[in-house]
Amino acid sequence: MLNLILKDVTVLTAICGGFALLLVIAQKLFSNYGDFKIDINGKRELTVKGGNSLLNSLGDQQIFIPSACGGRGSCGACKCKITEGGGPLLPTEKPLLSKAELADNIRLACQVKLKSDIRIQIPESIFNIRKFKATIAEIVDYTYDTKGITFQLLEPDTISFKAGQYMQLETKPYPGMKQKVVRAYSISSGPKDEHKLQLIIRLVPEGICTTWVHKHLQLNEEVFLTGPYGDFFLRDTEADIIFVAGGSGKAPIKSILEDMEVKGIPRKATYFFGARTTKDLYLTEYMQHFEQSLADFSYVPVLSHSAPEENWQGKTGFVMPYFKDAIRDPKNTEAYLCGSPGMINAVTKSLIEHGIPADKIYFDSFG
């Protein structure tokens, strides 16, 4: 009886093993798309294995197109122009592309599967984007919900970026969170120290990455970042400058100010920082030191909800009513804004009413 059972089990195992082997062979035979060529900007040609997404294939070749959702087709950040190949547009892409982008053959790199040779166009700045291994060199509590995290770069150990750009930070699994996610944060340090960079990260309720940073990230821990990304940076002109930010929107402005200090840029600049109460103010003394080190700079924190017991002596309400005192020639003034879409809309409207040309208003919007 036992022999019979053993025999049946052996036969069943052999049949299952056979099927498994057949599946592996079939997968090798039928899902092997072969090698294909990716032509980038007509200048560079890569040979990659077919069947993968364009985003991942480029990433494997150390070309990092921005992606905030890790290739799930939900953020719409990995847009690139495809001039040949790429297959038909997928229903997952259409809601994330405008009519003009659709007409211009813009696609989401995470949704394009490589099944033929392909020609793409991407900004040259993307070639400067790298994946960095780094350790946590410093964690500073700026407010009750905002931390400054300094990363010591290990591999590669240097970075070149423009003040105002951002990085993407990759989380690690932690209790209650099995998978990695990637999130974007502005660099808050200046580009002078090419071995280190700092990000300012505010805790978001239910936020996967910010919870990891605030509750689990440890000093000396190894992490991965990619970047630099973005086109929010100080334009090389002599125009006066108005900066406006709130909350963690301070990060790119801090980076730009540190860069202006290092380069000795003498432009007149006024920085309006909007916050609710004194509890939301941070780096105030550091910002005020730029009033000494820069040629013509003013830092103007404005509180909207200061309580009498806070004894706040500074400006109150919205930041917009204070713009008129900072603008001497609107046609020769640039504005740099970082914050929520509501803040960007309200401030942009006000700046245009003050005569600042719309094409001189640059912003890094959270939304």
3-class secondary-structure state, position 202: strand
| DSSP letters spanning 103-165 | HTTEEETTT-B-SS-EEEE--GGGGG-EEEEEEEEEEEE-SSSEEEEEEEEEES------TT-
Residue 132 and residue 157: Cα distance in Å, rounded? 8
User: Binder to another protein among 81, 346, 357, 362 (CB under 8 A)?
Assistant: 346
Sole window of 4-12, 152-160, 254-262, 333-341 interacting with another protein (rule: CB under 8 A): 333-341
Single-letter amino acid code for the residue at 265? I
Closest contact distance (angstroms) between CB of 74 and another protein is: 3
Q: Nearer Cβ to another protein, position 201 or 234?
A: 201
| DSSP letters spanning 60-79 | HTT-----SSSSSSSS---E
Tokens for 62, please give them.
């150390």
Please list every residue from 162 through 221 that binds another protein, using CB under 8 A: 176-179, 183-185, 202, 204-208, 211
3-class secondary-structure state, position 305: coil
Closest contact distance (angstroms) between CB of 318 and another protein is: 6
Residues 303, 277: contact at Cβ < 8 Å?
A: yes
88 binds another protein (CB under 8 A): no
Tokens 């280190």 belong to residue: 196
3-class secondary-structure state, position 322: helix
User: Binder to another protein among 32, 83, 92, 288 (CB under 8 A)?
Assistant: 92
Q: Nearer Cβ to another protein, position 174 or 286?
A: 174
Closest contact distance (angstroms) between CB of 346 and another protein is: 4
Residues 87, 113: contact at Cβ < 8 Å?
A: yes
Closest contact distance (angstroms) between CB of 90 and another protein is: 9
Closest CA to 258 of 299, 293, 296: 293
Sole window of 13-21, 88-96, 153-161, 260-268 interacting with another protein (rule: CB under 8 A): 88-96
Number of residues engaging another protein in binding (CB under 8 A):
43
3-state helix, strand, coil in the chain (%, to 5): 30, 30, 40
Q: Nearer Cβ to another protein, position 166 or 233?
A: 166
Closest contact distance (angstroms) between CB of 92 and another protein is: 5
87 binds another protein (CB under 8 A): no
Please list every residue from 230 through 249 that binds another protein, using CB under 8 A: 246, 248
Q: Nearer Cβ to another protein, position 58 or 184?
A: 184
3-class secondary-structure state, position 4: helix
Residues 133, 155: contact at Cβ < 8 Å?
A: yes
The residues, any chain, with a CB within 8 Å of residue 123's CB and separated by 6 or more, are none
Closest contact distance (angstroms) between CB of 150 and another protein is: 20
Binding mask 27-56 for another protein (x = CB under 8 A): ------------------------------
Angle in degrees, 0-180, between the axes of helices 250-263 and 284-293, rounded to the nearest 10: 30
Closest contact distance (angstroms) between CB of 305 and another protein is: 8
User: Binder to another protein among 105, 304, 332, 348 (CB under 8 A)?
Assistant: 304
342 binds another protein (CB under 8 A): yes
User: Binder to another protein among 59, 71, 73, 86 (CB under 8 A)?
Assistant: 73
Residue 322 and residue 272: Cα distance in Å, rounded? 9
Closest contact distance (angstroms) between CB of 165 and another protein is: 14
For another protein, the binding residues (CB under 8 A) are: 68-69, 72-76, 91-96, 176-179, 183-185, 202, 204-208, 211, 246, 248, 274, 304, 318, 320, 339-343, 345-347, 366-367
